[in-house]
Structure 1
Amino acid sequence: MMRLTYDNNYPAAVSKKKSTCNGAALAYDVPQGVEIRGRYDEEFANNILTKEALQFVAELQREFRNHVKYAMECRKEAKRRYNEGAVPGFDPATRFIREADWVCAAVPPAVADRKVEITGPVERKMIINALNSGAKVFMADFEDALSPSWDNLMRGQVNLKEAVDGSISFHDKARNRVYKLNDQTAKLFVRPRGWHLPEAHIVIDGEPAIGCFVDFGLYFYHSYATFRGTQGQGFGPFFYLPKMEHSREAKIWNSVFERAEKMAGIEKGSIRATVLIETLPAVFQMDEILYELRDHSVGLNCGRWDYIFSYVKTFQAHPDRLLPDRVQVGMAQHFMKSYAGRLIWTCHRRGVHAMGGMAAQIPIKDDPVANEAAIDLVRKDKLREVRAGHDGTWAAHPGLIPTCIDVFTNHLGNSPNQIQAANRLDAANLTEEDLLQRPRGVRTMEGLRLNTRVGIQYLAAWLGGAGSVPLYNLMEDAATAEISRVQNWQWIKYGAELDGDGVGVRVSMELFGRVVEEEMARIRTEVGKDKFNRGLYKEACSIFTRQCTAPVLDDFLTLDAYNHIVVHHPHPHPQGLSSRI
């Protein structure tokens, strides 16, 4: 095996190892024009990467790839405008959609109550524990909480298939304990990757597959039969859709859903999805996004960590919009409070859920005082959300579920949600200026150090196969790591002046170099010499440092880092493979 480097996101080389059995080379049975470059695994071949499932994925890619390419070109054009001084705003051309009185399809009774949702990667034990956690919904994540290695992705598909049919179990040999699903479980939502992420281990007509078509297509193909018997009854399947910037991207998803429903023979509108509003441009497109998905929507979610990341990325060429320390950019900031208020008002006006953001805290087992302080922060955050009008919220750890449930239940009583409650009229009057107001706060040396320490450690874990990592009593994923990266980049780019202990000091390449060296030494001390030497900290440090100091900001940390986890295993060409590959 060997890791790859890419040119233009295309594979540059493959390993020379082959999967064999008794000397005979093994290969996946693939349809015309499809090539699998991931490791051969009999379970994957028999249960997930079947010829019929791959044909469905290929059909999605062929029908919609040009639409996706156009949407990505539109993102580049928008970025060019922002870099030349423009700012996002409401589109005058779609004013009629924002002002018209229309509603989305009625929320299915099966997911009317979404007071607390837990999220996590598609890892086997995680899936079982999350579905058994007492949360109303579990969002199984192929995106920010997952390192998209071949094994993680395909093993995740196996796990979800068994979760849907109820057969999933896990034997923890260390504890001699078997985990199985309870009789009552959370409703399963699945989050595929964003439009921008490729799947380099599957090639369709000579191009890497679009990652979300692989995630959505394989899961849907292997689960739709379970839902077909309940068509029209609102039992799904359910999805979360990430990273959109414009309603044209929602329109593609709506067409994908209609195509999938037609293939499966299930009623139109059976597929339901919640869209994460986690980019700054998307906050000005919420009505339009819901309108495009109106037959398939069950609301919007405040993806607040990615939203903060997007604020920096959108204004990367605006030196007057430097963020304060990451810990100060919370929901009390006017632009963040306005974002949540506008989302709630929009969702309730259109008859769907307005979901709150992530509680990233995790229980602190060895310090009762610190643990109670963390739980109190969660309690206050959730109380703020439910009072603002949110219908539910997110938690990163099962230990937070009781606290979140209590807050929402005490406020809502027997009501499953607040969709029909009187809408706050002040949110209707929020302006573009409210949504773009500059954040306030200080920038400190400790903020720079924390960004660096968290970014390197998260990336080291990600390169090693873990996409969701507990660090300093918080659950970090790609979204929070992105804040660390882009904030460092922004401060270095514009020589931000530091407050506090670093008062009068400006961030420079030289200062950042010293910080990296010192924080690497601290990481080595904190994790221990043996773990440090076994880990991928040096490789992570190199990638993170390069991205923080790059002349031009990379769009995504993980898009570049993905090149370091792609491993190709060539297989004999099956007879159906197109000769052009």
Structure 2
Amino acid sequence: MTQADMTNEQKAQTQGQLNIVGAHVEGQQQVFTEGALNLLSVLCANYMDELESLLEARGERQRKFDQGELPDFLPHTREVREGNWQVRGIPADLQDRRVEITGPVDRKMIINALNANVKVFMADFEDSLSPTWEKVVQGQVNLMDAVRGDISFTNEQTGKHYQLKEDPAVLIARVRGLHLKEKHIEFAGKPIPGALCDFALYFYHNYHQLLAKGSGPYFYIPKLESHLEARWWAKVFRMVEERFCLAPGTIKCTCLIETLPAVFEMDEILFELKDNIVALNCGRWDYIFSYIKTLKNHPDRILPDRQQVTMDKPFLSAYSRLLVKTCHKRGALAMGGMAAFIPAKDEAGNAQVLTKVRGDKELEARNGHDGTWVAHPGLADTAMGIFNEYIGEGHANQLHITRDVDAPILAAELLAPCDGERTEEGMRLNIRIALRYIEAWISGNGCVPIYGLMEDAATAEISRASIWQWIQHEQYLSNGKLVTKQLFKDMLVQELANVKEEVGAEAFTHGKFTQAAVLLEQITTADELVDFLTLPGYRMLTE
């Protein structure tokens, strides 16, 4: 049943099934208006059950991979891949996305990001946000203020005042992945999808103001694993456009290709969303995690130290080039990945950081990407300079680079094993990064500077999943040590002590490092790989 088919009585009954069970937090009345609740109720009534079926299909597909199958291009969608079609089109303010900055929906972060030397700010309800109820609600309030241009922030300790400049970056909201729930809102007695919560509230409160100023309701969609999941989103978008009497294609989205199964369905994802989609993005860190997770039972596909898995490795290079070729063939932009570095305080250290960023961004620009991501405003100028050079005067993007002369990229290239060492130093670093990130996340902070990198959930996922895989497949470190559960537990105790020394006794005592260590041990030594650390983490966060 669609919204158009519903009687007033049925609409009232549907809204009656929606129940906010979270404690009252500041901004709640502003966010959960009658209109917003009506939209959220209808979306839940129409699409929650189908989403559960899609998530079950993920599990069924993974079981086949666990039994020895490998991902591949789908034979029954060959006509889509070989067909002559393009996406509907790209709005004027999304034509030029040469540098984007990402970060959580924190008030100060939003202002600094929109003011940075970038074209787009991706306001993140997903991997860089620890989704406490207060932050989810306040994040919506902050974005409402940002869209209306009256957002400001004053640091109470320093007195420093932050406000928007005249011409801020374009705003895109990233909603949560389909697997994540929002337990503070229930529909028919069940927690609702976080994705529907984030999408419905941001759309409802901001679409009119965004369209009035020549922009629109723009979204990033994370962690898709199939074109059927893209089809689900297309249904959601279509229903909302019809409900609010908007032209088809008014809602625009960019999908992250950050799971291994999805890289084999990029054409199909673009096709399913062709009215609404404008770009695909190389979500490289989650993609590496997904490579481990998808191929976790394949002993010939074990990754080395995380630091050695760089974009010039064959399986990642193939992924980047195929994304560019696929997008440009269909008239969509091809966005590059994240530079997670943060500027160093000393001049020599900062020069090293910028050298690494330049190399990474030059590779993306040469491959034909239309833009890239940075995690810190201090890297924006460097990234912007590189993409200005490659895109050139008079162009907004690199859609003219078709890569038609490239040889076809085969499944074997996308699945190619990655060479490199597994070192004790790398394993210990993984443990410390995962410890520090998990502690921050369960304390309510999802975007954390650690050892010169701005870490989010994806990098912590790689860190713990790599060790899990090394244990399961009885890998040896370069110094001859066999990776076992006991070796990991011994290192965890030692690295927990090292983290205490790094952060200081007071911060350690008042933090949640012991709880983080318990969670890290549980998910790393489990016989089955936990899908996402944020699932058990969310239970701890909201207890």
TM range (shorter): over 0.9
Q: Secondary structure in 2 aligned to 1:316?
A: coil
Q: Which residue of 2 aligns with 1:35?
A: 19
Pairing 1:190-229 to 2, within 5 Å after superposition:
190-229=173-212
Q: Secondary structure at the match of 2:100?
A: strand
Aligned to 2:231: 251
Tell whether 2:315 aligns with 1:327.
no
Kept after mapping to 2: 8 A contact 1:352/1:419: no
- Contact (CA 8 Å) 2:216, 2:250: kept in 1 or not? yes
Shift of 1:413: 1.7
Q: Is the Cα contact below 8 Å between 2:278 and 2:332 reproduced in 1?
A: yes
1:438 pairs with 2:417: yes
1:533 match: secondary structure: helix
**1:276 aligned counterpart, secondary structure:** strand
Instruction: Using the TM superposition, give the Cα deviation of residue 288 of structure 1 relative to its aligned residue in structure 2, in angstroms.
Output: 0.1
Q: Structure 1: where are the runs of 5+ without partners?
A: 1-29, 568-581
Q: For 2:401 and 2:230, how far apart are their aligned partners in 1?
A: 28
Q: Which residue number corresponds to residue 413 of structure 1?
A: 392
1:260 and 1:180 map into 2 onto residues whose CA distance is: 32
2:295 to 292, 300, 315: 315
Deviation digits for residues 86-141 of structure 1 (CA, Å, limit 9, x no counterpart): 01000010000000111111211111110000000000000000000021000000
Asked whether the 8 Å contact 2:110–2:123 carries over to 1, the reply is yes
The answer on 1:559 being equivalent to 2:535 is yes
Cα distance per residue 1:196-250 (max 9 Å; x no partner): 10110001111101110000011111112213436xx6x2211100000000001
Answer yes or no: is 1:487 the counterpart of 2:470: no
- Please point out which of 472, 491, 514 is paired with 2:490: 514
The 2-side partners of 1:416 and 1:460 are apart by 44
Kindly report which structure 2 residues correspond to 1:3-82, keeping only aligned pairs within 5 A, or say none: 31-41=15-25, 43-45=27-29, 47-82=30-65
Q: Any residues of structure 2 matched to 1:257-406 within 5 Å, and which?
A: 257-365=237-345, 367-406=346-385
CA contact 1:345–1:428 (8 Å) conserved in 2: no
Residues 134, 185 of structure 1: 8 Å contact kept: no
Which residue matches 1:118? 101
Opposite residue 470 of structure 1, the aligned amino acid is P
Aligned equivalent of 2:7? none
- Which of 431, 452, 459 pairs up with 2:438? 459
Of 149, 168, 181, which aligns to 1:166? 149
Q: Per-residue deviation at 1:79?
A: 0.5
Q: Distance in 1 between matches of 2:223 and 2:406?
A: 24
Return the alpha-carbon distance in structure 1 between the equivalents of residues 380 and 398 of structure 2: 22
**What one-letter code is carried by the residue in structure 2 that aligns with 1:467?**
G
The residue number in structure 2 matching 1:534 is: 510
Does the 8 A contact of 2:447 with 2:456 survive in 1? yes
Deviations 1:241-300 (A, max 9, x none): 000000000111111111111222222111111100000000000000000111111110
Map of 2:80 onto structure 1: 97
- CA distance in 2 between counterparts of 1:416 and 1:540 reads 48
Cα distance per residue 1:363-410 (max 9 Å; x no partner): 111x21111101110011111111110000000000000000000101
Gaps of 5+ in 2: 1-13
8 Å contact kept, 2:391–2:398: no
TM-score (structure 2 length as normaliser): 0.96
Letter in structure 2 aligned against 1:498: L
**Secondary structure of residue in 1 paired with 2:335:** strand
State the identity %.
46
Distance across 2 between alignment mates of 1:42 and 1:110: 33
CA contact (8 A) 1:356 1:394 kept: yes
Q: Distance in 1 between matches of 2:295 and 2:401?
A: 35
- Cα distance in 2 for residues equivalent to 1:31 and 1:339: 43
CA offsets, 1:297-327, max 9 Å, x none? 1110000000000000001111221110000
Q: Would the aligned equivalents of 1:342 and 1:427 in 2 still touch at CA under 8 Å?
A: no
Taking structure 1 as reference, are residues 315 and 197 closer, same or farther at Cα in structure 2, changes over 3 Å only? same
Specify the alignment match of 1:13 in structure 2. none
- Give CA-to-partner distance per residue, 1:41-60, whole Å, 9 cap, x none: 35312x10123212211110
Q: Give RMSD over aligned pairs.
A: 1.2
In the alignment, residue 534 of structure 1 is paired with which amino acid?
Answer: H
Letter of the 2:174 counterpart: R
Q: Is the 8 A contact 1:362 1:399 kept in 2?
A: yes
1:412 offset after TM fit, Å?
1.4
Partner secondary structure for residue 103 of structure 2 = strand
> Which deviates more from structure 2 when the two are superposed, residues 263-272 or residues 392-401?
263-272
Would you say the 8 A contact 1:122–1:140 is kept in 2? yes
Read off the aligned partner of 2:24 and give its amino acid letter: Y
Q: CA deviation at 1:419?
A: 4.1
**Deviation of 1:427 (Å):** 4.1
Partner secondary structure for residue 151 of structure 1: helix
1:180 has 2:163 as partner: yes
Report what 2:11 is aligned to.
none
Is 1:543 the equivalent of 2:519? Answer: yes
Residues 260 and 482 of structure 1: CA distance in aligned 2, closer, same or farther (over 3 Å): same
Task: Indicate conservation of the 8 Å contact 2:123/2:173, yes or no.
Answer: yes
SS at match of 1:55: helix
Determine which of 145, 160, 169 is the counterpart of 2:128. Answer: 145
Between Structure 1 and Structure 2, how many residues are aligned?
A: 530
Distance (Å, rounded) in 2 between the aligned partners of 1:419 and 1:293: 22
